Chain A
Amino acid sequence: MSNIAARQTSQRYAYGALIAATAIVVIPILCIIVYMIVSGAGAINWEFLTQPPSQAGKAGGILPAILGTFYLMLGTLIFALPIGVLAGIYLSEYAGDNWLTRLINLAIINLAGVPSIVFGLFGLGLFVLAFKFGMSLLAASLTLACQALAMIITTSREAILAVPGEYREGSLAIGVSKWQTIRYVVLPQAMPGIITGAILALSRAAGETAPILVVGAAFFLPRLPTSPFDQFMALPYHLYTVSAHVPGMPKVTIWGVALVLLCVVLSFNILATVIRLRSRQRGI
């Protein structure tokens, strides 16, 4: 009897520890979000979202930063998604199982762990200086694309490998070519996983500050970029400048910028989650 009682006690302790660990993770996140909303909501109004800033950001809105971030994500997507998916297809379907492939896979995994400022310096050297794109939206998009590539390739590869081999066999066995099999059987199956990975990579790119700092983000540019070779404002960098470099900045504005950035990133994460859940519901 006592043995059972003791086991029930240890069961309760283990359960309590797991709950506590979860709470330690969740509660601070909730606190941060609630605090941000409470402190920043006062700054959010139509003018804040649709007007360019003035007085170094103390007045006016943050439209150029919001749009700058969207342009950046668009640029990153255009460069990183096709290359990332094609590389993922190559690595999962075509590359032989040899030391070179293993080396490439290892390199890609490590690429994801490279600090983002290093990507920034790489972009500065290659896109800004060597390719003479200058400090620009284009250079920043390419730099962020390099960083997003690692994640997009990895998730594409995983999503493609997760498609059961029996579908490939069923298609190959009726005289459908390998590429057609990939195009019409494997990719449709892998698409939710690929898109989820791409969105998460993009939302991470949207929050990056360090790399864009050195390849084209402007400290203060109260107008919209007019070409890919223009400089631009971006939310994370704007948040950094208004919170660290502008004396006498109203606190509510700082939290307002942070809140908008958080909403942009969270909305992408939620979109990724919805896509994943919906594809699961379809039983795929």
Chain B
Amino acid sequence: MTTSYTLQNNKITHMNDIKLMAERVNLYYGTFQALRNISLGIPERAITAVIGPSGCGKSSFLRLFNRMNELIPYARVEGRVEIGGVSIYEKSVNVVELRKRVGMVFQKPNPFPMSVFDNVAFGPRRHGVSSRSQLEDIVQRSLRQAALWDEVKDKLGQSGLALSGGQQQRLCIARVLAVEPEVILMDEPCSALDPIATLKIEELMRNLSEEYTIIIVTHNMQQAARVSDMSAFLMMDRDRAGILIEYAPTREVFSRPKDRRTEDYITGRFG
């Protein structure tokens, strides 16, 4: 595995350091193997798309990096997963601290049933920020970053559940941004949204990728082609375990796939 990649979607072609790394990772749920021998490096401040057919372990792969797989009973990880060169499955790693650094946005927008303000301030408050003016700054900054400020600045006291689906998802992104993570994991963030809301989120992702390392799981080939710098294609092995078929800059994966299975999938021959 090389340690840097040339990015093509970004205007300037520059070399990004590896932010996240998986090395020979196996993931089991009880006796079922969900991921097999996955190795790859995710570049910093870029968007990496994870594509592949349903049930191939894309979400499980994503959740390796914030250890959310641990919420499932009997989940077990083998191999090494690193963030910034430090292994995250060591006993010494505080999983709460890790998840502060590696935020996550889910498939279905899941704002808490509280006001817009309280939704965004939730993380900082739990992490010990109590000054009202500081919280106001954080909320405004996060909502601006999430391209939602102009739409909600007059209704910060309203319930987050009263927003539209696309706004709710951007609220969830703002909630993640408020705790100042380094990495944002997105698990099919647009699959519950209409095309216009989807485009807004994609534009937002492009802007965020200048500061954050983003991994997005998506079912939508066009979306992967549009937004990502790198693409990883996962597929099921004969025993349904997820394996990495191809990982390369997005343009290469979509224009000259090296593997026949990748080509079949992105041209819609299966999946």
Contact = CB atoms under 8 A, between A and B. Distances in A.
A175 B128 CA distance: 12
A175 B97 contact: yes
Interface string B142-180: 000000000000000001010000000000100110110
Nearest to A169: B106
* Interface range for A: 20 to 34
Contact of A283 (B113, B126, B176, B181): B113
Contacts of B113: 167, 189, 283-284
A11 to B, nearest CB: 40
Interface stretch (A102-110, A177-185, A230-238): A177-185
A172 B96 CA distance: 8
Nearest to A178: B96
Contacts of A97: 73
A55 to B, nearest CB: 57
Interface string B29-55: 000000000000000000000000000
A180 B126 CA distance: 7
B24 interface: no
A184 B114 CA distance: 11
A174 interface: yes
B139 to A, nearest CB: 14
Contact of B179 (A167, A170, A174): A174
A176 interface: yes
A185 B96 CA distance: 16
Given A174-B123, A176-B122, A169 B110 contact: yes
Contact of A176 (B71, B96, B172, B181): B96
B77 to A, nearest CB: 17
Among A169, A170, A176, A184, find the residue whose CB has the most chain B CB atoms closer than 10 A: A170
Contacts of A189: 113
Contacts of A171: 112, 122, 126
Among A164, A170, A174, find the residue whose CB has the most chain B CB atoms closer than 10 A: A174
Contacts of A184: 122, 126
Given A169-B71, A169-B106, A284-B113, A175 B100 contact: yes
Given A169-B68, A169-B71, 14 more contacts: A96-B73, A166-B110, A170-B112, A170-B175, A173-B99, A173-B103, A173-B106, A174-B100, A174-B104, A174-B178, A175-B179, A177-B96, A185-B112, A284-B113
Q: Return the 6 tightest CB-CB contacts between A and B, nearest first.
A: A175-B100, A173-B104, A175-B99, A166-B110, A174-B123, A170-B110
23 contacts: A96-B73, A164-B110, A167-B110, A169-B106, A169-B110, A170-B106, A170-B112, A170-B175, A172-B68, A172-B71, A173-B99, A173-B106, A174-B103, A174-B175, A174-B178, A175-B96, A175-B97, A175-B100, A175-B101, A175-B103, A175-B179, A176-B123, A176-B127
